[in-house]
Amino acid sequence: MASELPLQPATTYSQWVRQVIALMKSTDQKQLVSLFESSVTEPVELLSALVASSFAEPVTNRYASAFGDGNPWVTAQLARDYGVGEDQVVCTTGATGALSLIYRALLKPGDRVLVENPGFDLFAILARSQGYGVDSFERTGSRFDVDPEAVDRAITQQTRIVVISDLHNPSGFSLPADTLRALGEIADRRQVTIIVDEVYSPYVGSDVRAAASRNLSPRILSVNSLTKIYGLSTLRCGWIVGDASMIKPIRALGQEIDFGISKLGHAVAALVLEDPAAFRARTNGMIARTRPIVELYHRGWLTEGLVDGDLPDHGCIAFLRLPGIADTKRFSAWLAQEGGAVVVPGEYFGAPGHVRIGFGIEPGALELGLQMLTEGLIKYREGLSGPSAERVRA
């Protein structure tokens, strides 16, 4: 029966993740391997050493008030990194806080938000929770491409904001420069704001330029954080970059309502941003070790017909279709119970029949988890068509 499975269907991805975390903490499920993480693991040793050295006497001068306008050292470093003025940067409590702040600052009752599908469900959830309507357009093909003409067609008279991710969450694929250029032209012509969620973009390399700093359109805003690239979600450091005219009302609202920016968290973030070499080396080294493992398994899965879809060129996530398995919520729950690994069902990104796999974990754990996934896919598919089909479906 479905009630026997450890993971029950959830309404949102966030609810599902909370279930998974509770399950992994339980005494009888400690051997579960997490393949659902969307960033590299937390750099505890590097973070501990940085805090210990910077907050001994004398305490770093980066430990400055973030009230009202963010940590000034963070703002200054981001402006240098992006090649923009400090008046074009707003610090926020994570990327989620950035997105919520933009919605509140730029939308009014009756406005609508256009989001990508498949996509991160929080883009729509935040809009709906604030009373705004939500529409969607499809990312299609083996690399989940964005068709600018499809975006243009999906924009209505009430559309004020379009939200896309680059690198794409959940697939990890990047947007070609021509696509971003076309989206900039649409933003200008249709008078809509385009938010580009770029939390995964640093995986492309330290020289990647944010959409908001490419002179594509003053109506493009970039959102980013330290969470995905360095595993530093604990700092809750996010930011928005854009044209000064777009940033001005966002900053003004943030100074009124965003009291959650951590003085301590953003002080540490300033130190990381100013000298990211050790953190970047850790991330790059981890991906260099884990990507060959994923590529090897992926080739085997394709040969055996267990999955369909490409691996992205960068990052630590992949989004693959499971031929013959339409209910991936059910499969994920079954795999956690019978196979010992956890993958994210595609339903939470608007694409049933797919799963998102994260590989920013230690190579040994990854190898074990991918082996569990392989064996689980074979066993589950046999169960769907063989004598044990009723038990698998139950």
d(CA 269, CA 18): 26
Q: Give the Cα separation of 115 and 325 in Å (integer).
A: 26
Lowest mean pLDDT among 124-128, 257-261, 338-342, 374-378: 257-261
Q: In which residue ranges of the chain is CATH 3.90.1150.10 found?
A: 2-44+279-393
pLDDT band at 67 (very low <50, low <70, confident <90, very high): confident
The answer to whether residue 386 scores a pLDDT higher than 50 is no
Report whether 96 contacts 258 (CB < 8 A). Answer: no
- What's 337's DSSP letter? I
Say what the pLDDT of residue 69 is: 85
Tens of pLDDT, residue by residue over 161-178, are 999 999 999 999 999 999
220 Ramachandran zone, left/alpha/beta (phi>0; psi -120 to 50): beta
The pLDDT of residue 30? 57
Dist CA 25 CA 31 (whole Å): 10
Neighbour-count burial of 292, counting CB atoms closer than 10 A to its CB (0-12 exposed, 13-18 middle, 19+ buried): exposed
The residues, any chain, with a CB within 8 Å of residue 281's CB and separated by 6 or more, are none
Pairwise CA distance, residues 146 & 67, whole Å: 38
Least confident of 19-33, 206-220, 227-241, 312-326: 19-33
Query: For residues 227 and 233, what is the distance between their CA atoms, to the nearest angstrom?
Result: 4
What would the mean pLDDT of 128-149 be, rounded to a whole number?
Answer: 97
Question: Band of the pLDDT at 29, cuts 50, 70, 90?
Answer: low
What is the phi-psi region of residue 235: left when phi exceeds 0, alpha when psi lies from -120 to 50, beta otherwise?
alpha
Specify the pLDDT at position 26: 79
- Select the CATH number that applies to the domain covering 64-274 from these four: 3.20.20.150, 3.20.20.140, 3.40.640.10, 2.60.40.10: 3.40.640.10
Give, rounded to a whole angstrom, the gap between the first and last alpha carbons of the chain: 5
Q: Is the pLDDT of residue 206 over 80?
A: no
CA dist 88 and 226 (Å) reads: 18
Q: In the chain, which segments carry CATH 3.40.640.10?
A: 64-274
| Rounded mean pLDDT, 176-199 | 97
For residue 58, give Cα distances in angstroms to 62, 275, 383: 11, 19, 64
Q: What's the burial of 204, exposed, middle or buried (CB within 10 Å: 0-12/13-18/19+)?
A: middle
- Compute the average pLDDT of residues 296-311: 97
Euclidean distance between CA atoms 243 and 45, whole angstroms:
37
Residue 114: pLDDT band (50, 70, 90) is very high
Judge contact between 311 and 318, C-beta under 8 A.
yes
Superfamily of domain 2-44+279-393 in the CATH hierarchy: Aspartate Aminotransferase, domain 1 (3.90.1150.10)
User: pLDDT at position 27, please?
Assistant: 52
Handedness of CA 203, 204, 209, 210 (dihedral sign): negative
User: Using 50, 70 and 90 to split pLDDT, how confident is the model at 2?
Assistant: very low
Q: Which parts of 20-148 are beta strand (E)? A: 33-34, 89-93, 112-117, 133-138
One-letter identity of residue 233: S
* CA separation for the pair 55, 62 (Å, rounded): 10
Calculated CA dihedral for residues 179, 183, 185, 191, nearest 10 degrees: 180
Contact criterion met (CB below 8 Å) for 343 and 302? no
| 1, pLDDT greater than 50 | no
Residue 390 has pLDDT above 70, yes or no: no
Q: What is the chain's mean pLDDT, rounded?
A: 93
For the chain, how big is the Rg over CA atoms in Å? 21
Q: Mean of the pLDDT values across residues 353-364?
A: 97
Helix, strand, or coil (residue 113): strand
Question: E strands within the chain?
Answer: 33-34, 89-93, 112-117, 133-138, 159-165, 193-197, 220-225, 237-241, 317-321, 341-342, 344-345, 354-358
Helix (H) or strand (E) segment spanning residue 234: none
Q: What pLDDT sits at residue 8?
A: 83
The rounded distance, in Å, linking the Cα atoms of 75 and 85 is: 9
Cis before 118 (ω within 30): yes
**What's the pLDDT score for residue 182?**
97
pLDDT above 60: residue 18: yes
User: Residue 389: its pLDDT value, please?
Assistant: 43
User: What average pLDDT does this structure show over 45-65?
Assistant: 95
Residue 28 confidence (pLDDT) above 70: no
> For 151-162, b where at least 16 C-beta lie within 10 A, e where not — what string?
bbebbeeebbbb
Q: Which pLDDT band holds residue 116 (cuts at 50, 70, 90)?
A: very high
Inform me whether the pLDDT recorded for 129 exceeds 50. Answer: yes
Enumerate residues 6+ apart whose C-beta is below 8 A from 178: none
Residue 59 has pLDDT above 80, yes or no: yes
Question: pLDDT-derived band of residue 4, with 50, 70 and 90 as boundaries?
Answer: low
Report pLDDT for 260: 75
